[in-house]
Amino acid sequence: MTAAGRTMRTATDGGARASAPAVEVSGLRFRYPDGHEALAGLDLRVERGQRVALLGPNGAGKTTLALHLNGISVADAGTVRIGHLVVAEPHLAEVRRRVGLVFQDADDQLFMPTVAEDVAFGPANLGLRGAELDARVDEALAAVGADGLRSRTPHHLSGGERRRAALATVLAMRPDVLVLDEPTSGLDPAGRRELVDVLGGLPITQVVITPDLPFALELCPRSVIIDGGRVVADAATPDLLADDDVLRRHRLELPFGFDPRAVARQD
């Protein structure tokens, strides 16, 4: 864990909350207005502190699931719990603080004149002011190695810098769970490596939607394959990526010549 990662704190409400899984999804069903069933009785449990990759073909239901984890979408049936809180009224405000959703396009989260103002926006809406707000911004920027970006204009940043700034806006809320939707999208190799280092150093539960299977192997000890709106495989990432039949059946493909077994042996 990086020194920056060790400085990142999350809020807690004591032992009762710690005893529950970070995320528990039971029998989740959701159908879009056009009739397409995106989630078909999905079950998932993520323990506190785990980093879990969500894999699967396009249209499998991964992003739809992410939108249910903080109540952006409302299920037709089933339940989602974050700690002991059911994702439903009257808990939505607290759930949305506990679950930080990092969108695929960082520009969806960056809209203020400077990075520091973007990072301060969420905590300021919670009522933080003065030195307490400044400390929260400093903490979040340090956690992603972005101290030097605080006075920069977001749309002048590189792709990797924007990704880290967007992540800092979420971390400033001190969430219990990070949900990241295709975080390596549009990043060059250096930006991707920086992101692995940042996320790997954060002491926080992470649910990572990614089509980048080597990234999943580097970051997430556990991977879950979703297809047809259900969990169809759940295993240690090296084992799952070494199963050619499972990957082929669910339209997942490793880069040519990439051997997850060899990478796992090096680790």
Listed in sequence order, the residues at least 6 apart from 177 whose beta carbon sits closer than 8 Å to its beta carbon are 22, 23, 46, 69, 82, 98, 99, 100, 204, 205, 206, 207
How many Cα atoms are found within 13 Å in the side-chain-facing hemisphere of 111?
Answer: 5
**pLDDT by 10s per residue, the chain, length 267:** 344 444 565 554 444 445 899 999 999 999 999 999 999 999 999 999 999 999 999 999 999 999 999 999 999 999 999 999 999 999 999 999 999 999 998 888 999 999 999 999 999 999 999 999 999 999 999 999 999 999 999 999 999 999 999 999 999 999 999 999 999 998 999 989 999 999 999 999 999 999 999 999 999 999 999 999 999 999 999 999 999 999 999 999 999 888 887 775 555
pLDDT given at position 15: 47
pTM summary value: 0.90
pLDDT given at position 266: 56
Residue 141: both structure tokens together: 């920027």
pLDDT given at position 262: 77
Domain ranges in the chain are 19-108+175-266
Residue from 68, 91, 66 nearest 13 by CA: 91
pLDDT given at position 267: 57
Output the CATH code of domain 19-108+175-266: 3.40.50.300
CA 118 to each of CA 122, 123, 154, 200: distance values in angstroms, whole numbers, following the listed order: 8, 10, 9, 23
Please check whether residue 162 is in contact with residue 107, taking contact to mean a CB–CB distance below 8 angstroms. yes
Backbone angles phi, psi at 211, to 5 degrees: -90, -5
